[in-house]
Amino acid sequence: MSGSDPMVVVDGLTTTYRTGRTEVRALRGASLSARPGELVAINGRSGSGKTTLLNLIGGLDVPDSGTARVDGRDVGALAEDDLLSLRRDVIGFVFQSHGLIPVLSAAENVEVPLRLARRPAAERAERVRVLLSLVGLREHAEQRPYELSGGQRQRVAIARALANRPRVLPADEPTGRLDSETAATIMPLLRAVVRGENVTALVATHDRVLLGAADRVLNLRDGVIAETGGPPEFSPPPH
Ligand code: ADP
Ligand code: MG
């Protein structure tokens, strides 16, 4: 895929949050690019700006300056209708807390974005079946979120994010609320998704397991992205 164009190009994003008299410069010129089929981890300690960055890429927020381009479109400059369609059709967000609808079954939760996109019933049913198989939950389709484990819920959230065949999958600490054993099962799933659906996954995390499975690790520090490769604490131990 080395010849393919980048799907996500972030250039010089800055964001300052102002609360009362304090200013937090969350991003100070963050830049990155990512290609289709790439699993990119965004590593950084709590407060380093990971969520801010993903929200800008996902069109949930607007930067002070700089651009986030997704599939060639400048996300921060889109009119509302275009932004809505970008978020529905091109971007599939996975949040730290799964955000599933409690009264709906796993299958119905996955179906929600397909309904919003007005896909026909037969197509919805087939896509839900494929996605629940992909995330290993075919046997759990009828269970509601409270009848599923934390890891299973996050799998449903991933399946839901993939419903409309997004090109870009921002995932904000998808294992942040999971125990390490369960967390370890999520990265192979994301890997399979990235390959199987040829998406660009941007995974904010400081989970070593997730970092280890990424194609590239970008380090977010002081509001900018340092070169690829792990920070010293994540480098392989010397032999
Ligand atoms: P991360 O996801 O890496 O933990 P965030 O992007 O959430 O980092 O936050 C980056 C910085 O911006 C932090 O210092 C945080 O306190 C601040 N921040 C984030 N959101 C807001 C907000 N809505 N209002 C004020 N400050 C914020
Ligand atoms: Mg965050």
Q: What is the tens place of the pLDDT at every residue in 81-137? A: 999 999 989 999 998 777 899 999 999 999 999 999 999 999 999 999 999 998 999
* pTM over the 0.85 mark: yes
Residue with tokens 């494929």: 130
Which of 15-19, 179-183, 204-208 tops mean pLDDT? 15-19
Give residue 236's pLDDT. Answer: 52
The whole-number average pLDDT for the span 6-30 is 95
Average pLDDT for residues 60-76, to the nearest whole number? 95
- Whole-number Å distance, alpha carbon 196 to ligand 1 midpoint, is 33
Ligand 2 mean position, distance from CA 96 (Å): 8
- Residue 239 clears pLDDT 80, i.e. is over it: no
What's the 202 CA to ligand 2 centre distance in angstroms? 13
Task: Please tell me the predicted confidence (pLDDT) of residue 48.
Answer: 94
The minimum-distance atom of ligand 1 relative to the CA of 173 is 2
Ligand nearest the Cα of residue 50 is 1
In this prediction, residue 6 has a pLDDT band, given cuts at 50, 70 and 90, of very high
Residues 205-229: what's their mean pLDDT? 85
Sheet strands side by side (includes 65-70):
22-34, 8-19, 65-70, 73-74
**pLDDT higher than 80, residue 231:** no
Spell out which residues have Cβ within 5 A of ligand 2, the ion.
Answer: 50-51
Q: Using alpha carbons only, what angle is made at residue 158 by residues 46 and 153, rounded to the nearest 5 degrees?
A: 85
Q: What is the pLDDT of residues 161-199, one digit of tens each?
A: 999 999 999 999 988 888 888 888 888 888 888 988 899
Comparing 6-15, 131-140, 219-228, the range with the smallest average pLDDT is 219-228
Name the closest-CA residue to atom 7, ligand 1.
Answer: 51
CA of 49 to the centre of ligand 2 (A): 7
CA pair distance 24, 194, nearest whole angstrom: 34
Q: For residue 99, what are the β-bridge partners?
A: none
The predicted pLDDT at position 223 comes to: 93
Task: Kindly write down the DSSP assignment for every residue of the chain, as one continuous string.
Answer: -TTSPPSEEEEEEEEEEEETTEEEEEEEEEEEEE-TT-EEEEE--TTSSHHHHHHHHTTSS--SEEEEEETTEEGGG--HHHHHHHHHHTB--B-SS----TTS-HHHHHHHHHHHTT--HHHHHHHHHHHHHHTT-GGGTT--GGGS-HHHHHHHHHHHHTTT--SEEEEESTTTTS-HHHHHHHHHHHHHHHHHH--EEEEEE--HHHHHH-SEEEEEETTEEEPSS--GGGSPPP-
Cα 2 to ligand 1 centroid, rounded to whole Å: 34
Q: Report the C-alpha gap between 214 and 201 in whole angstroms.
A: 9
* Mean pLDDT score, 189-210: 89
Q: What is the mean pLDDT of residues 35-53?
A: 94
For ligand 1, mutation pick of 19, 23, 24 (most atoms within 8 Å of CB)? 24
- Whether ligand 1 lies within 6 angstroms of the CB of 235 is answered as no
Query: Beta 168-172 vs 200-205: how paired, if at all?
Result: parallel
What is the average pLDDT value for the chain, to the nearest integer?
90
Q: Which of 191, 168, 228, 199 is nearest to 42 (CA)?
A: 228
Determine the pLDDT at residue 1: 44
